[in-house]
Amino acid sequence: MTTVSPTEAQSAGPLAVPPFAVISGAQVQQALRGREQQLTDLVEATYRLHGEGASVNPPSYFLRFPDRPSARIIALPASIGGEAAVDGLKWISSFPANVAAGVPRASAVLILNDHDTGYPFACLESSIISASRTAASAALAADRLSRGRERPTRIGFFGTGLIARYIHTFLAGTGWSFEQIGVHDLSAESAAGFRTYLEQSEQSQAKAGITVHDSPEQLIRCSDLVVFATIAGKPHITEASWFDHHPLVLHISLRDLAPEILLASANFVDDIEHCLKAETSPHLAERLTGGRRFLNGTLDDVIAGRVAVPPDRTVVFSPFGLGVLDLAVGKYVYDEVARSGRLHIIEDFFHELRRYG
């Protein structure tokens, strides 16, 4: 049986097995660098497809370890329709103990499967894809949820790892600028490193003052836009009064805020069923109240104009992270690398292609 590209396979008539390619992290980064606005638009379009029911996004599966309670590996299967129809799986690990050894906490691969045959046709390094889709989602939420209220000019980053860096990059790459940038991290070394990154970044305007805050309260009270990008396993921010100035909160790490803070806020998620599980802060709020009335809607509801964002309340966006976003960005990367003629094809990856040998 011959091998053709996935795109060719869809138009070739008889089913054919696509070639299998491996795309490295360096190729992923090259394909995505400087494309912040394009990727944010892609994420918005994917949210729309998901909202229209043109996707399949089953619950994520968490692999945990009795001997390593802080570690986990998560499987995110998904399928997306539309012009770039593709199926696949993200397999992403989080091992916080890596950081002390100088190794990044998270690692990931993304498998793309051909829509027609089901054959996998690519394996991509996916920590960059995952960080990019998360940051694009955050930038999109910051834009959509701040319309109709005063646009934030002071941003605070609670947690200073890879995700915080990507969110800063995507905010800057989609037109945001800030008068003040606040930083807080439990690790003074990490906070100092992030400050150095901000000072050296071409995307940080020289006029922006950068402050490393000693306490969470200082960071939150001094910020109109607060980004939580931590590895917290349970709520550690419990004082609702710290949010009396009604900031916009990008609750990316999902488990930082006590449910009482959410109950005093307007709450938006990416997908209700996905977000209200695994003891996220919204899940704890549901348990506390016995219902979901504290949720105002999804980001897609806001994009489509079905729900308005209140201008006089703290607004919290808690995205669980949808596998369809990884698929959309991963397919974008695949297409870019294919167009460049630099796909690394593994010849004869599929060996038994005859039914009877």
Q: What is the pTM of this model?
A: 0.92
DSSP 1: -
What SS3 state is found at 209?
strand
Domains of the chain: 6-129+323-345 (3.30.1780.10), 138-318 (3.40.50.720)
Residue 3: what pLDDT?
Answer: 45
Dihedral sign for Cα 233, 236, 241, 247, please. negative
Instruction: Supply the pLDDT for residue 15.
Output: 83
What mean pLDDT do residues 40-52 have? 96
Q: Has residue 223 got a pLDDT over 50?
A: yes
Q: For 11-15, 75-79, 83-87, 294-298, which range has the lowest pLDDT when averaged over its residues?
A: 11-15
The C-alpha angle 244, 165, 222, rounded to 5 degrees, equals: 20
Q: pLDDT grade, residue 355 (50/70/90)?
A: confident
Q: Is the pLDDT of residue 232 over 60?
A: yes
Pairing mode, strands 106-113 and 120-125: antiparallel
